[in-house]
Amino acid sequence: MRVIAPGKLVLTGAYAVLEGAPAIVVAVDRYAAVDTRTPGTVDVLSLYDDAGQKLGLGSSAASMVASFGARALARGEDPRHAAVRTEIFRAVRAAHKREQGGGSGVDVAASVHGGALRYTIVRDPSAASKRPTDAIMRSVDLPAGLVLASYWSGTSARTSELLSRVDALRARGGAGAVFTRLRAAAEDAADAVADAASFVRKACIFGRVLANLGEAADAPIVPPAFAELASLAEREQAAFYPSGAGGGDVAVWLGIAPPSPAFTRRAEALALAPLALAVDHGGVRAESIS
């Protein structure tokens, strides 16, 4: 037997989720896997490209979820059981936050539960620390007619560097206005997820404000190639921007039609390659080894 845990794509809510806004995240059919015969080894090859670069699909979170799922299976527990998943999420979120120096846990949630989730972190208002203390998540259905496509930039991003620049912007007192807009855009997008056309329109707005955050923080959250493709996508009534913290990695196309041949040709000219991904609905689970 082996235990697998899917990677993720953050569709909306990047950065804003750390401010208490909801994120929409989907689990994808690229997996971290742990063979129960060799539990100390985690196979994450499908979460990397052929050159050994991380694709930006949450490989570290998926690795931990698969490992904790394998431990649960070794204790005779089923990783698909709700109570077991609750404990895996709690334990992995805490461990992942220690290892990464923070984070919302949205990638952990996707790997544990699979499917599409609306994910919000909450804080204890009486606590001196403003760090997240709890999370609320629920399954959502992506709307009929939504076209989700993904593109690999060929370049892995260092999320910690981007976060440090955003934190420096906060320290300078310059983050207030842009984060107000980012939170509002994330909330509007999450509230619109039941309708494809509305969700895409709100996602376009979120993508623009995400680019504004990068400009304010002097951080390459939306690289130039992504920005050019975002403009092309909007002409096709679609949204295009980084999944998650940005800086490279994977970008998402959200539309009510597939990308046009002209968009695809320009993406290829800018060295972005289509990445074959589908939504994983299973979450962390055991499977037989063929």
Same domain, 170 and 264: yes
Same domain, 161 and 253: yes
pLDDT band at 126 (very low <50, low <70, confident <90, very high): low
3-state secondary structure the chain: CEEEEEEEEEEECCCHHHHCCCEEEEEEEEEEEEECCCCCCEECHHHECCCCCECCCCHHHHHHHHHHHHHHHHCCCCCCCHHHHHHHHHHHHHHHHHHHCCCCCHHHHHHHHCCEEEEEEECCCCCCCCCCCEEEEEEECCCCCCEEEEEECCCCCCHHHHHHHHHHHHHCCCCHHHHHHHHHHHHHHHHCCCCHHHHHHHHHHHHHHHHHHHHHHCCCCCCHHHHHHHHHHHHCCCEEEECCCCCCCEEEEEECCCCCHHHHHHHHHCCCEECCCCECCCCCEEECCC
Same domain, 117 and 168: no
Task: Say if residue 132's pLDDT is above 70.
Answer: no
Number of domains in the chain: 2
User: pTM for the complete prediction?
Assistant: 0.92
Same domain, 152 and 266: yes
Same domain, 136 and 158: no
> What pLDDT shows up at residue 172?
83
> What pLDDT shows up at residue 129?
47
Q: Which of 97-101, 208-212, 224-228 has the lowest mean pLDDT?
A: 97-101
Same domain, 22 and 151: no
> What pLDDT shows up at residue 59?
93
Same domain, 116 and 82: yes
Same domain, 169 and 245: yes
Same domain, 164 and 61: no
**pLDDT per residue over 152-190, tens digit each?**
998 887 777 888 888 888 888 767 889 899 999 999 999
Domain CATH number, residue 185: 3.30.70.890
Q: Which domain holds residue 95?
A: 2-140+278-287
**How large a percentage of the chain has pLDDT more than 70?**
95
Same domain, 115 and 52: yes
